Amino acid sequence: MEELFKTIEGLNEEIIEIRRHLHKHPELSFEEVETPKFIASFHEKLGHEVKTGVGGNGVVAYLKGSHDGPTVALRADFDALPIQEETELDFKSVNDGVMHACGHDGHTATLLGVAKALNKHKDELHGTVVFIHQHAEELPPGGARPMIEDGALEGVDVIFGTHLQAQMPLYEINYRTDALQASSDSFEVTILGRGGHGAYPQDTKDSILIASQLVSNFQQIVSRRVNPLQSAVLSVCSFEAIGPYNVIANTAKIKGTVRTLNEETRALMEEEMLRVIEGTCHLSGADFEFNYERGYPVLINHEDETNFLVDVAKTVPEVKEINETEPIMGGEDYSYYLQEVKGTYFFTGAQVEGSEEPYPHHHPKFDIDERALGVAAKILAKTTVEYMNKNK
């Protein structure tokens, strides 16, 4: 395994170069054109079998080892965000209003580095590696499900993946053997009141007042209807009612998100929201429209595969700390893969050295420490080889 690590170390500069190229040329979810071409070309030059247009803009590449064994999938996402970059990086985005502000450029560079390293050791591989390069993670319904439906997991026995974390110390690894990330649902409520003159509120059904009461009433769902031992988040993130200063708006619209860590609580939240909306509007005689969209499901890691990866991570020299983390309420469509096959998803620390308060993900000044790419590459590569050796 020492030789594999040396191979990856020898590729570090190339991995960073790839990350910087991708960072400079980001593409939005479902609009990726040049990025999948770049990824496919890289694999083709290595002699890998490549499928493009998988589930939309996805790319899947295959490396068959010289010996029989299990099929291990590794996944990285490659879409960017609609954010205007405000960093001073030499390789900052040249695409106006589009930025890699979540580390997907690093994920892709890492996986391509792993592909090249494992290719150099293919004579020692007992099985097949499937490199899943996924589009559109940032925008539900996401790219994972259509890629799965298009055969990305066909024949796969296990899947591994990582997310670079800019607010987590470099050389630290976080994992969890159960629910790691929350389901991510969205909702929109339109209050259909009756507008009128601001001087004569008695003649109206004030949509703004009703929507304001609804925002407040929603908060009682988590505090009074959800089991305190379960986690749930209900956030109203948008409130819109348009009109001049002296007109009570005819309609008001609120939008937001719901996050939970199990399907029972998820169903309860949707049911209770409808009940609260009906009650609030009934008291005021207003009508409503309620649209609840289920997004990504809860990301639940498999225990044995998680523990296996953790044991491998302990052997990577650069890794200084490994922690079992609490769940986070952010969503991730990697969850769909784990509903189909066994596997795990973990976090790799990528905090920029010297930044006491690093910019968070999805911030216009977001950045990562590129040394994290090599750490992630070593863990993914060695996990792949060790899993093959154990199950050959």
Binding residues: 102, 104, 138, 163, 362
Binding-site residues from annotation for Mn(2+): 102, 104, 138, 163, 362
Q: Which residues pair with 321 in a beta bridge?
A: 172
Tokens of 127: 């099985």
Residue of 27, 32, 77, 79 marked catalytic: 79
Catalytic residue among 77, 137, 206, 369: 137
Residue pair 73/160 in contact (Cβ under 8 Å)? The answer is yes
Residue 79 annotated among the catalytic residues of the structure: yes
Q: Which residues contact 304 (CB under 8 A, 6 or more apart)?
A: 342
Spatial distance between the Cα atoms of 258 and 232, rounded to a whole number of angstroms = 7
Q: Is the dihedral of CA 41, 43, 47, 49 positive or negative?
A: negative
Burial category of 139 from C-beta neighbours within 10 Å (exposed 0-12, middle 13-18, buried 19 and up): middle
| 3-state class (DSSP) for residue 310 | helix
90 annotated active-site:
no
Going along the chain, which residue ranges are E strands?
49-54, 58-64, 67-77, 126-134, 158-165, 172-175, 179-181, 183-192, 196-197, 232-240, 247-248, 251-260, 287-296, 299-300, 321-324, 342-349
List of residues 6+ apart from 340 with CB closer than 8 A? 148, 153
Cα–Cα distance for residue pair 373/363, rounded to 1 Å? 20
- Give me the active site residues, please: 79, 137
